Chain A
C-alpha cells in the first residue's frame, strides 16, 4: 500500500517535471501555472473548510493582499523580489489573525456572509486606494523574480517555481493532517462541541487554520504578481473567492489532493468553456460561458455534494451530518 502510493507520487512528480519540456504553447503553460497558483490557495482553504470545518468566501482578498503587498514592496520600496515573496504573505496572515477570532465565532450562513463581505470590502479598497494600489488600472512595472543571479523570465521557469511551491505545500499539508494537530482538526470538523468537551481549544485552532490559509493565499498572490508583472483588482474579486471555495468543495472536502483536482478542473473548465461556447454560439459576445459554469456546479452539488474525491455514495452524502450542519443551533 505504502510503496504503491510512493510510486504514484513519483510518477506524478515526473509527469509534472516533464510537462514544460513537452508543452511548447505558452497558452497551455500559463494555464498550468494558474492551476498551480490556485491549487496553493485551495490547499489552504481546504485546510480551513475540510479540516477545521469553517468556510471562507473571501479568500481572493488574501490572494490579492499577497499580490499587492509583493507588488508595492517591489515597485515602490524597491525591495529585492525574493524578499518580497517571503514578506508579502505576512500581510494577509496578519489581517487574518486580526479578523479571525471574531469572524470565526460566526457559524454557517453568517460566516459565509461575513467572509464574503470582507472579500468585497478588500476588493473595493484595491480599486479605490488609487495612490497606493494604482486603482482600477492597477500596478505595472513589477520586476521579474530573481534568485541570486538567476532571473526568472520564462513561463517554464515560473511553472517550476509555482509547482515547487505547491509540492512543498502538499508535503506540509500531508504531514500536518497526519499529525496530532491534524486529527484535532478532524475532530473539530466532526463536532466542534464534542471537541471542546474533551478540552480542545477550538477557537485558537480554527484561528491557526484561518491564518495558515491566508498565508498560502498570500504566497500564491505574491508569486502571481512576479509572474505577470502587472496586477489589477479584477482577479481578486468575489468571483475568484467563489471559485476558490468551489475548487475545495468540488475536489472533495477533507482530502489532500481534492483542492488540486478542484483547481485543475475549474481552471480547465473555464478555459474549455471560453473556447467551446463561442464555437457553438458564434454570434453572441461577452463571457456568457459562465451559464454553463453555474449549471455544472449546481449539478455537482446536487449529485456529488461531498466532491469528486469523496468516497461515500452521494445518497449518503446528501444527508451527511459532518459538514456545516443545517441545524438551528
Chain B
C-alpha cells in the first residue's frame, strides 16, 4: 500500500512525463499558428508516423539510433509535403477551409497508418535497460527521464535557435507580427514550410520517446494531438513559453485527476480544462489580453 505522499509523487512523475510530450506538441502548434495562422489538426498523425516509422526501420535492421533519426526525417518530410501540397495552395482561403484541410490530411494520414501498420500495438525498446528508480517511495521509469530530457533539450535548442540564428529571429519576428515581418522582407511561404517541417520533427521525436512507455498504434496521435491543443490553449496560443507551461500543467492535472477519478474520464478532463480556459480566459495563462 502506497502512502498518500508517495502516491502524489507518483502522480507528479507520470504527469511530468506525459506533460513533457504535450508541451512539445503544443510548442510545435504554437510556432505553426503564429507563423501561418493555422491550427494544424494533423499534428497528432506526425507523432504516429514518427513512432511507427521507427518501429518499421528497426524491424528492417537499422540500428536503433539510425532508425530514430531516419524516422524523424520521414515525419519532417511528411510535414514538408503537407505544407507544399495542401496548405500553400490554400494559403488565402478562409480559416474554416484551412481547418478542414488539416482535418482531411489527418484522416488520410491515419488511414495510411492503418494500412501500413494495422490495428495492433507496436512497441520500441526502452532506451536503456535499467531498473526503475525509487524516489520518495514512488517508482520512476528510466524512460521517463529520457522524455523529460528530450523536452528540456528540445526547448533549450529551440530558444537558442530563436535567439541566435537569422532564421530563428525571422521566425520570432513572424510570430510577433506577420504583416510587419513581411514588410521587412521575411518570406512567409518559406517560414510556413519551416513550421510544418519543424512540427513533423518535434512530433516524431515525441512519439519515439513516449512509445517505450505507452506503445504505439495507428491512432495514438489523435488524442496526443488534441492534448497538445489543450496545452497550447491553456498556456496561451501566442506564447511559446506558455505552451510549455500549459503542457506540463495539463499532464500534472490529468495525472492527479486520473488518480482520483474513474480512469476513462481522463480524456474528458483535458476537454473540461480546455473549455473552461476558453470560456474564462481565452488567451491562456501567459497570453496577452
Chain A contacts to B: CB under 8 angstroms:
49, 55, 102-103, 106, 108-110, 112-114, 116-118, 120-121, 124-125, 127-128, 238, 242, 245-246, 249, 281, 284-298, 301-302, 305, 318-320, 323-326, 328
Contacts and interface: CB of A to CB of B under 8 A. Distances in A.
Nearest to A105: B279
24 contacts: A103-B278, A106-B278, A109-B33, A109-B99, A112-B39, A113-B278, A114-B278, A116-B226, A124-B268, A125-B268, A128-B262, A246-B100, A281-B115, A288-B114, A290-B107, A294-B105, A297-B104, A298-B101, A298-B104, A298-B108, A301-B101, A301-B104, A324-B96, A328-B37
Contact of A297 (B100, B110, B264, B267): B100
B95 interface: yes
A237 B204 CA distance: 26
Nearest to B222: A238
Given A286-B119, A290-B111, A298 B105 contact: yes
B65 interface: no
Contact of A291 (B100, B111, B233): B111
B93 interface: yes
Greatest chain A CB density within 10 A among B96, B98, B107, B112 is at B96
A108 B107 CA distance: 21
B133 interface: no
Contacts of B110: 290, 294
Contacts of B108: 290-295, 298
A240 B106 CA distance: 15
Contacts of A289: 111
Contact of B282 (A110, A295, A325): A110
B230 interface: yes
Contacts of B100: 245-246, 249, 297, 301
B63 interface: no
Nearest to A49: B96
A28 to B, nearest CB: 25
Interface string B101-135: 10111111111101100110000000000000000
Contacts of B106: 294
B271 interface: yes
A109 B279 CA distance: 13
A325 B90 contact: no
Nearest to A102: B279
Contacts of A128: 262, 264-265, 268
Nearest to B279: A102
Given A120-B267, A121-B275, A295 B93 contact: no
Interface in B62-112: 86, 89-90, 92-101, 103-112
Contacts of B89: 302
Contact of B115 (A108, A114, A284): A284
A285 B274 CA distance: 36
A113 B229 contact: yes
Nearest to B230: A117
A109 B283 CA distance: 12
Given A110-B282, A291-B112, A121 B95 contact: no
Greatest chain A CB density within 10 A among B114, B230, B237 is at B114
A302 B103 CA distance: 13
Given A113-B39, A294-B108, A301 B274 contact: no
Contact of A293 (B97, B111, B237): B111
B272 interface: yes
Contacts of A301: 90, 93, 97, 100-101, 104
Given A246-B100, A249-B100, A295-B104, A113 B93 contact: no
